Structure 1
């Protein structure tokens, strides 16, 4: 069910890794190597990707190289949002990619790139076209963020809050579909770039959008999807039942799963961005999820596969009609 495993998300961004707990990223590096080795021990054929960096900082990759992290992964990733958060212009993408290639020979994935409709939907449409022109054929993977707007009642997983201005609210307008599931202007343009451009969609615990998302992605021609399995969610009641439901629903896609988020009670600080008290526990989570959803083909037979609950049948709806209950 998984073609690649990504180790953490935006480790050089304080929204996802606390630099006060780990100012030199040595704890992160140690944890990442443990996780990469644990994944490899379960399935050596699975591609291991260092979590997408944001901002794009070749110095951070160079630091990870000095710690030996790049020897334990098969690709590196980066995230770019020049029309919303970054302090550089969209036409600088070629230079940003060249900077990354100057410090590593590993394949480079742009595992999140997107444009919000915070100001106008026309901005997203133009930004999608220009991003495709600049990135297609230049990197080994492109994944657009995201399918859905974040519902306004849900918090964005970030430390950047309202006091820092309108940039926080842009988190809620990154989708190709509005919160109510209706298409935005850029949706049909996105379909012109699949399957060369994949998609990113984070599913919250017991996310009610899962089945409709599957329908939309198939209709749009998406083959590569990036999503996440949260270590913190693993401690919720019925966590495995939800993980099984999510991964079984996504079985028709080439899925990159991002392993991330520290359980509050297992962090050096009580926050999902904290370095863990025992980094081996994160590695154990990565191994458990890999064994469950991407075991080595030679290690299991059909009867050994996890027994997942059946998925409701697909509803027949032609693009671009809105999926409905």
Structure 2
């Protein structure tokens, strides 16, 4: 059910990793190395991907190279939202990819790219067209964020929430589908670019949108999907039942699973962005999920036959 395992999400973004606890990302580098080794031991056939970085920063990538992380993964990933959050223009996408290629020869995945409809739905349509033109053939993997708008009653995964002003509310309008499941104009355009472009859809614990999401992705021609399995959620009651249901529903797609989110009680600080107290515990979670959903294929042992006399 899993073709690739992504180690964390946006590790150089303070909404996903606490730079006050780990300012040089040494703890992250060590944790990523442990996780990559654990995933490889569980199933060496799984593609290991360094969590998509945001912002796109060669300095951070060089740091990961220095810590040995790039020696253990099979691809690196970047995230970009130039029409919403980044301080660069959409036409700079090829240059951003080329910058990372100066650091590593590993395949580069654009594991999140998207445009919000916060201002106008037509902006998303134009942005999707431009993104496809700029990135198809330039990056080894392109995954559009996202299928659904975030329900307004939920919270976006960001550190400062409403204090971010309009930047925060853009998180709620990134979908090709509105909160009620109706398609925006960009949905029809997106279907013109599948299967070359994939999707990103994070499913919250016991997400009511799961089955409808599967139906929509098949309708749009999606073949590969990026989602997540939360280490923090694994401590909820009935967590494995939910994980099983989620992964079963997604079995018709090539799935990249992102492993992330520190359980509050296992972090150095009680927050999902905190480095863990014991990084081996995160590695063990990664290994357990691979063994459960992408087990190593074991070859049948040849049977011995005793030759009969003629």
> Which residue is 1:104 aligned to?
104
1:123 Cα shift?
0.1
Counterpart-to-counterpart distance in 1, 2:300 and 2:280: 25
1:164 Cα shift?
2.2
- Structure 2: give runs of 5+ residues left out of the alignment: 302-310
TM norm structure 2: 0.96
Counterpart-to-counterpart distance in 2, 1:268 and 1:221: 43
> Which residue is 2:171 aligned to?
171
1:297 Cα shift?
1.1
1:160 Cα shift?
3.2
- Structure 1: give runs of 5+ residues left out of the alignment: 302-325
TM norm structure 1: 0.92
Counterpart-to-counterpart distance in 1, 2:279 and 2:40: 17
CA-based RMSD: 1.0
1:124 aligned onto 2:127: no
1:293 aligned onto 2:293: yes
Q: How many residues align?
A: 301
Deviations, residues 211-233 of structure 1 (Å, cap 9, x unaligned): 00000000000000000000000
Counterpart-to-counterpart distance in 1, 2:209 and 2:86: 29
Moved over 4 A (4+): none
Deviations, residues 208-253 of structure 1 (Å, cap 9, x unaligned): 0000000000000000000000000000000000000000000000
1:299 Cα shift?
7.0
> Which residue is 1:33 aligned to?
33
Counterpart-to-counterpart distance in 2, 1:112 and 1:278: 29
Counterpart-to-counterpart distance in 2, 1:61 and 1:142: 19
| Structure number, greater radius of gyration | 2
1:50-129 mapped onto 2 (5 Å cutoff): 50-129=50-129
Counterpart-to-counterpart distance in 1, 2:47 and 2:175: 27
1:78 Cα shift?
0.3
1:150 Cα shift?
0.2
Deviations, residues 91-135 of structure 1 (Å, cap 9, x unaligned): 000110010000000000000000000000000000000000000
1:1-325 mapped onto 2 (5 Å cutoff): 1-298=1-298
Counterpart-to-counterpart distance in 1, 2:140 and 2:160: 30
Identify if the C-alpha distance between structure 1 residues 232 and 300 changes in structure 2 by more than 3 Å, giving closer, same or farther.
farther
